[in-house]
Amino acid sequence: MGTLLLYKTILASAILVMSLVVAMYSTLIERKVAGFFQDRLGPNRAGPWGMFQPLADGIKLFFKEEFMPNTADKFLYILGPSLTMLIACLTSAVIPWGPDIIINGQPFSLQMADVNIGILYIFAIVSIGVYGIMIGGWASNNKYALLGAIRASSQMISYELAMSLSIIAIVMMTGSLSMRDIVEQQQGFNWNIWYQPLAFLIFLICAFAETNRSPFDLPECETELVGGYHTEYSSMKLGFYLFSEYINMFISGAVMATLFFGGYHFPFIDRLGLSPNAFAFVSFLVLFAKITFFGFIFMWVRWTLPRFRYDQLMRLGWKALIPLAILNVLITGVVILLNK
């Protein structure tokens, strides 16, 4: 029992540190990728290829003036970014990062908690995420921040529906809500994406909206709303908002890889004859590569598509994605019944 507790503590810290480091370097990679898409080089001054740029940014954010508007609700103003950051870090708990590793002949799972309602847990946590933005926007006592917060909450609520509906098809196929079961059913190349391309497309679009990424970045829409919900934030509180966006990106990449692209499975790596620990490590690298790929897609889309107009956003969510998701559920149900 003691070893298990120790192991879980180490794993939790490792996952937390990993998400933070990945988020840190996503900011650099985002700027690098943005530069390359625009025929520039991106940051390349701080260290080789700008490797220390995230550190410089972090130090800058820490040492900036901590400004608080005097009409703001002090408690909520601080609660907003803290909540966003907390929620962003919580989601990674149910993601299976790889197959079991063996220490002293005992198997240990690379998943923090194999909750039997893993998917529901993720959706529950992501739904709380909107509170961070809403509270922050409300507490700032600024009309732009409030407008941004309103947009964020209505957008996230609309897209969460389509997102959950698209996942129902996956749940129907696997017959389980546990993330581990879903991954284990996608051995080799038997990925869910081949059976549920439509569900994946809907999920991908909703993931853009959920993480407030372009083309659905209306909540922070700098052309209309100054800075959206984080207009009044400065220093590390602003840093938390920006940072949690990148953690969310990383986690939604992980969720997409897990649900649709076989998680840590990849054809033929189980035939390499590796020792269990090396196999777990390679599998983890495979998952990480998939997440990186999705991160790149997020950035790629950001530098390709212009921002949606608000009514277009709502129409897409309610009139296109939700009916499509329901149709997908229906078709999946019919196919499952016919194959019985």
Partner 1 sequence: MTGLTKRSKVVSNRKMSFWEKIYLPAILNGMWITAGHLFTKKVTIRYPEVKREFSEIYRGKHVLKRDDEGRERCTACGLCAVACPAEAIIMIAAERKPGEEHLYREEKYASTYEIDMLRCIFCGLCEEACPKEAIFLTKEIVRADYKRDKFIYGKDVLVEPMDPAKRIDVSKRQTPEVLEFKKDKDQKHNVQ
Contact residues toward partner 1 (CB under 8 A) are 35-41, 44, 300-301, 303-305
Are the C-beta atoms of 259 and 287 separated by less than 8 Å? no
Across the strands, what pairs with 106?
A: 103
Shortest distance (Å) from residue 248 CB to partner 1: 22
Shortest distance (Å) from residue 40 CB to partner 1: 5
Q: How far apart are CA 187 and CA 119, in angstroms?
A: 19
Of 88 and 322, nearer to partner 1 (C-beta) is 322
Shortest distance (Å) from residue 302 CB to partner 1: 10
Shortest distance (Å) from residue 286 CB to partner 1: 23
Q: Which residue has the tokens 């997440």?
A: 291
Largest Cα separation within the chain, whole Å, is 65
Shortest distance (Å) from residue 154 CB to partner 1: 22
- The first and second tokens of residue 303, run together, are 């530098």
Shortest distance (Å) from residue 80 CB to partner 1: 33
Of 41 and 102, nearer to partner 1 (C-beta) is 41
Of 40 and 74, nearer to partner 1 (C-beta) is 40
Q: How far apart are CA 167 and CA 179, in angstroms?
A: 12
Of 55 and 305, nearer to partner 1 (C-beta) is 305
Q: How far apart are CA 127 and CA 124, in angstroms?
A: 5
Of 189 and 300, nearer to partner 1 (C-beta) is 300
Q: How far apart are CA 56 and CA 142, in angstroms?
A: 30
Q: How far apart are CA 74 and CA 77, in angstroms?
A: 5
Shortest distance (Å) from residue 320 CB to partner 1: 9
Of 46 and 150, nearer to partner 1 (C-beta) is 46
Q: How far apart are CA 76 and CA 161, in angstroms?
A: 27
**Nearest in space to 147 (alpha carbons), one of 244, 59, 222, 39:** 222
Shortest distance (Å) from residue 37 CB to partner 1: 5
Of 44 and 154, nearer to partner 1 (C-beta) is 44
Local structure of residue 78 (DSSP, 8 states): H
Q: Which residue has the tokens 């794993």?
A: 11
One-character DSSP codes across 259-302: HHS-TT--TTGGGS---HHHHHHHHHHHHHHHHHHHHHHHHHHH
Q: β-pairing, 101-103 with 106-108?
A: antiparallel
Of 36 and 67, nearer to partner 1 (C-beta) is 36
Residue 70 φ then ψ, to 5° = -75, -10
